[in-house]
Amino acid sequence: MHLFEPSDPFVFSVISGKGGVGKSLTTVNIAAMLNDMGYKVAVVDVDLGLANCATMFNQPVQATLCEWVLNECSLEKTMQDCNGITLVTAADDPMELKLGTDIIMDALDQAVYALKQTHDFILIDTPAGVGEMTLWSLDAAEFGVLVLVDEPSAISDVYRLCKYVYSIDPTYKFGSIVNFAESEETASDTIHRFNTILTYFLEKESAYLGFIPENDQVRKAVRKQNTLLGYDSENPINNEVEFISQNIVAESTLSEKPQLKLAY
């Protein structure tokens, strides 16, 4: 029995602007934690051509959404089970991008619609940059999870991404996670600085969701193609991922779907 039983599925997008900051790592580990908490969870990997959630779950991609579009498989076949989590991969081969992003986004809309019928949480793992797929993901989601790292260029990338989204939809809701944190104190300092900038320039604030420390166990779990829970359920780092996941569950009870469509 959960404290919260989601009546509507909650869709959130994991974004950062910059690459290599831990979006995919965050996505698969929050998914694993929410799954462990008893929720029905799906991950949609929209890092077109360079999808790597399947690898992180130690599975080959069964079938991509692009293959479905090309009538090479059923939609069900694109929904592969990864230890209880449903994974949908949009495209895992750069060749598939020839289909064009409009067609891929249409297929993704249909996949998310189908996933919503049977899942409590849908996480979207996005590519770096402020490209079409990031904007599609924010449009499909009701909440943006920002992955911050304590580097000026990373923070300024996230700030510009938020500024752009707010220019289209001033009501959009974001939460922040600090990855590669040295400690809880440095993480809270990073969030504080980021929110100071958001407040000063845009009169906005992102909700603090938690942090993931820079940690060798994280690297080892990634190398072993395992989640942190699967690799070592006793590792204290799981408490941080649990804290983040609980904050997302709490957020899901508050959120309303933004009304405006983002332009992409």
Query: Tokens in use for 119?
Result: 């899942």
Which residue among 61, 145, 218, 262 contacts ligand ADP (CB under 6 A)? 218
DSSP element (H, E) containing 209: strand 207-213
Which residue among 8, 20, 76, 253 contacts ligand ADP (CB under 6 A)? 20
Amino acid at 185: E
Our CB check for Mg ion shows the closer of 146 and 249 to be 146
Query: Tokens in use for 240?
Result: 């941080």
What is the nearest approach in angstroms of Mg ion to the Cβ of residue 167? 25
Which residue among 8, 19, 84, 118 contacts ligand ADP (CB under 6 A)? 19
Our CB check for ligand ADP shows the closer of 16 and 176 to be 16
DSSP element (H, E) containing 176: strand 174-181
CA distance 91 to 50: 8
236 is a site residue for ligand ADP (CB under 6 A): no
- Phi, psi values for residue 230, rounded to 5°: -70, -35
CA distance 73 to 58: 22
What is the nearest approach in angstroms of Mg ion to the Cβ of residue 252? 23
Our CB check for Mg ion shows the closer of 45 and 67 to be 45
Our CB check for ligand ADP shows the closer of 16 and 190 to be 16
Looking up tokens 């300092």 gives 189
CA distance 90 to 83: 19
Which residue among 17, 22, 210, 258 contacts ligand ADP (CB under 6 A)? 22
23 is a site residue for ligand ADP (CB under 6 A): yes
Q: How many CB atoms lie within 10 A of CB 160?
A: 12
| Contacted by 215, from ligand ADP, Mg ion, none: CB < 5 to 8 Å by type | ligand ADP
219 is a site residue for ligand ADP (CB under 6 A): yes
Are 111 and 65 a contacting pair, CB within 8 Å?
Answer: yes
Task: State the residues that interact with ligand ADP by CB under 6 A.
Answer: 16, 19-25, 179-180, 212, 214-215, 218-219, 222
